[in-house]
Amino acid sequence: MSNATFSFPIRVYYEDTDAGGIVYYANYLKFFERARTEWLRALGIEQDFLLAKDVAFVVRQVMMDNTKAAKFNELLTVQSQISSLKRASILFKQEIVNQVGQRVCSAEIKVACISLQEMKARAIPAEVTEVLKGVR
Amino acid sequence: MSNATFSFPIRVYYEDTDAGGIVYYANYLKFFERARTEWLRALGIEQDFLLAKDVAFVVRQVMMDNTKAAKFNELLTVQSQISSLKRASILFKQEIVNQVGQRVCSAEIKVACISLQEMKARAIPAEVTEVLKGVR
Amino acid sequence: MSNATFSFPIRVYYEDTDAGGIVYYANYLKFFERARTEWLRALGIEQDFLLAKDVAFVVRQVMMDNTKAAKFNELLTVQSQISSLKRASILFKQEIVNQVGQRVCSAEIKVACISLQEMKARAIPAEVTEVLKGVR
Amino acid sequence: MSNATFSFPIRVYYEDTDAGGIVYYANYLKFFERARTEWLRALGIEQDFLLAKDVAFVVRQVMMDNTKAAKFNELLTVQSQISSLKRASILFKQEIVNQVGQRVCSAEIKVACISLQEMKARAIPAEVTEVLKGVR
């Protein structure tokens, strides 16, 4: 696997499941975000610093396919890639696989860079873009 | 509005927001599910009875656009429609609007009927299909 | 019931349950907060206005007893009372009962008034205190 | 630190925070549960196996003090101890500290062993008790 893919493990806890005994569908979006955050961190970008400068990443679009249910206590892996990097947005391709390599969930998630003060789009900071170019 | 659209109010509590001051994106999926559940209930279908007969609805696919951030304490309305009804799945078209009528979020959500015991697709129970035909 | 008790209904959705088939314990704290928020709202106090003036209520202490599990799809009622009202904090006594009147959960929750900017305690605004005195 | 204390790291993600910019209070209970689960796992006890045998741990009582707010992106550590081990329940003493060693939150959490089928208390399995005795 090249440095163009970032892998991050997620354990399924009680909090993530529902009465069907499986992971509640909204929680996959939490898993995807944790993985994006840890990827940025691994690249030296800490989002609290960005937030302090009124730079936030918000999700604009989600396309998610749930292929196979994940269960309580499973160890999942989130695999993330950047499929497109624009001036003010990033398109991530993310996938969750279980311990036997089956795909649980896949998604394309478009993240936009915004100013929270003004609640409008802004360019991704140059230092972030620079770093992300290196993992495409 | 015909009976083909079901409206359900959602108040944004602290639990729904994040440090950006806005609704955390995964939580819209909770709002959409509450609205689907209340629609079924309004039509006389209680999902705990279905679950007791090993009939569960699980989300197979989500396409969601987040157009405008919703904030703490806003009163939102979820509007739901069925765009397609098949033997073993339902395609919902759902939208969240804020108090001044702006669209916050829209989604197409494909829900499949499964047996949790066997973890595989099964036909939607006839009594449910019958009722849903009436609101298409 | 006097105006000293505020009742608020909560429906248990899939999102609230876990793989044990029952409400996940942390979620009762969400239910309690929804009820406190709706009580304040019913009394004319909107917390987004307070937040805009850097006045926030944060929980300082929780004592919670879980007596009986609540299940998916149950309709619960949260009953809230104020047992003590101080200069900078409020002690709530809250209880969740199910549809057949059984106590699911009871709690004493101490809420402090803080300035988020300074992250320290501050007096509860006079207009809030005034209103809360009326429901003790 | 003896083997009587188990330390587990938790990163604060957007999902954990609220519009106040700090960790939402209910989420500390999730953090505490993750730490208990990982401690059991580190001791060789996997809760999905227990659940498959209708043995579940449910929280009966929570006493929690929130001393200091934790913020987005902080790295926290949960420290867990067992203060009392009975036939059908365990009393945990848990504490969350931040990166500079300040106490964020402390709790005493009473966990009971139940049969979910019968929804009543049952003895903790002997193999679990045996292992837990070793870390008291």
On the CB side of C42, CA atoms within 13 Å amount to: 16
Ranges under pLDDT 70 in chain B: 1-2
**What is the pLDDT at residue D136?**
82
Distance from CA of D73 to the nearest CA of C (A): 17
**What is the pLDDT at residue C2?**
57
Global confidence as pTM: 0.97
**What is the pLDDT at residue B36?**
98
Q: Which amino acid is at B109?
A: I
**What is the pLDDT at residue A136?**
82
Tell me what percent of the residues of chain A surpass a pLDDT of 70.
Answer: 98
Which residues of chain C neighbour A21 with C-beta distances below 8 Å?
A: 19, 21
**What is the pLDDT at residue A2?**
58
B34 belongs to a structural domain: yes
Yes or no, beta carbons of C19 and A22 under 8 Å apart: yes
Yes or no, beta carbons of A33 and D46 under 8 Å apart: no
- Average pLDDT of chain A, as a whole number: 96
CA of A61: which chain B residue's CA is closest? Answer: B65
Domain of C51? 6-122
DSSP 8-state secondary structure symbol assigned to residue A4:
T
Q: What angle do CA A25, A29, A33 make, to 5 degrees?
A: 160
Contacts of C49 (CB under 8 A, 6+ apart): none
What is the C-alpha to C-alpha distance for residues D109 and C62, in angstroms, rounded to an integer?
11
Cα distances (Å, whole numbers) of residue C8 to C1, C69, D90: 13, 19, 33
Distance from CA of A69 to the nearest CA of B (A): 8
With tokens 């202490």, the residue in question is C61
C60 belongs to a structural domain: yes
Report, as residue numbers or ranges, the catalytic residues of D. Answer: 18
Which residues of chain A neighbour B60 with C-beta distances below 8 Å?
A: 65-66
With contact defined as beta carbons under 8 Å apart, do C29 and D23 qualify?
no
On the CB side of B122, CA atoms within 13 Å amount to: 16
A81 belongs to a structural domain: yes
**What is the pLDDT at residue D2?**
58
CA of D58: which chain C residue's CA is closest? Answer: C25
DSSP 8-state secondary structure symbol assigned to residue C72:
T
D67 belongs to a structural domain: yes
Q: Which residues of A91-109 are buried (b: 16+ CB within 10 A; e: fewer)?
A: bbbbbbbbeeeeebbbbbb
B122's tokens? 């099964």
D131 belongs to a structural domain: no
Nearest to D47, CA basis, from C14, A20, A11, B119: A11
Q: What angle do CA B132, B133, B135 make, to 5 degrees?
A: 70
With contact defined as beta carbons under 8 Å apart, do D107 and D32 qualify?
yes
With 60 as the cut, is the pLDDT of residue A87 above it?
Answer: yes
Residue B114 pairs in a beta bridge with B56, B121
Cα distances (Å, whole numbers) of residue C127 to C24, C69, C124: 36, 38, 8
**What is the pLDDT at residue B1?**
44
Signed CA dihedral, D121, D126, D128, D130: sign only: positive
Q: Identify the contact set of chain C against chain D, taking CB-CB distances under 8 A.
A: 19-22, 25-27, 29-30, 33, 51, 56, 58-66, 69, 116, 119
B128's tokens? 């449910």
Distance from CA of C132 to the nearest CA of D (A): 22
DSSP 8-state secondary structure symbol assigned to residue C71:
B
With contact defined as beta carbons under 8 Å apart, do D54 and D106 qualify?
no
Q: Which of C16, C18, C48, C54 is catalytic?
A: C18
User: First vs last Cα of chain D: how many Å apart?
Assistant: 13
D108 belongs to a structural domain: yes
**What string of pLDDT tens digits covers the 136 residues of chain C?**
457 999 999 999 999 999 999 999 999 999 999 999 999 999 999 999 999 999 999 999 999 999 999 999 999 999 999 999 999 999 999 999 999 999 999 999 999 999 999 999 999 999 999 999 999 8
Which residues of chain D neighbour C51 with C-beta distances below 8 Å?
A: 19-20
A102 belongs to a structural domain: yes
B22 belongs to a structural domain: yes
Probe site for chain A from C18, C22, C25, C30 (most A CB atoms < 10 A): C18
Yes or no, beta carbons of B20 and D26 under 8 Å apart: no
- Please state the rounded mean pLDDT for residues A87-102: 98
User: Which of D51, D71, D74 lies closest to A72 in CB terms?
Assistant: D51
- Read off the CATH number of the domain in which D81 is found: 3.10.129.10
**What is the pLDDT at residue C1?**
44
With contact defined as beta carbons under 8 Å apart, do A55 and A127 qualify?
no
Parallel, antiparallel or unpaired: strands B103-115 and B120-121: antiparallel
Helices (H), chain B: 25-42, 47-52, 126-133
**What is the pLDDT at residue A108?**
98
With tokens 């199910």, the residue in question is C98
> Which value, in Å, is the radius of gyration of the alpha carbons in chain A?
15
In chain A, the number of structural domains is: 1
Let me know if A18 is a catalytic residue.
yes
Distance from CA of C80 to the nearest CA of A (A): 26
Q: pLDDT tens, A36-81?
A: 999 999 999 999 999 999 999 999 999 999 999 999 999 999 999 9
Q: pLDDT tens, D43-87?
A: 999 999 999 999 999 999 999 999 999 999 999 999 999 999 999
Q: Identify the contact set of chain B against chain A, taking CB-CB distances under 8 A.
A: 19-22, 25-27, 29-30, 33, 51, 56, 58-66, 69, 116, 119
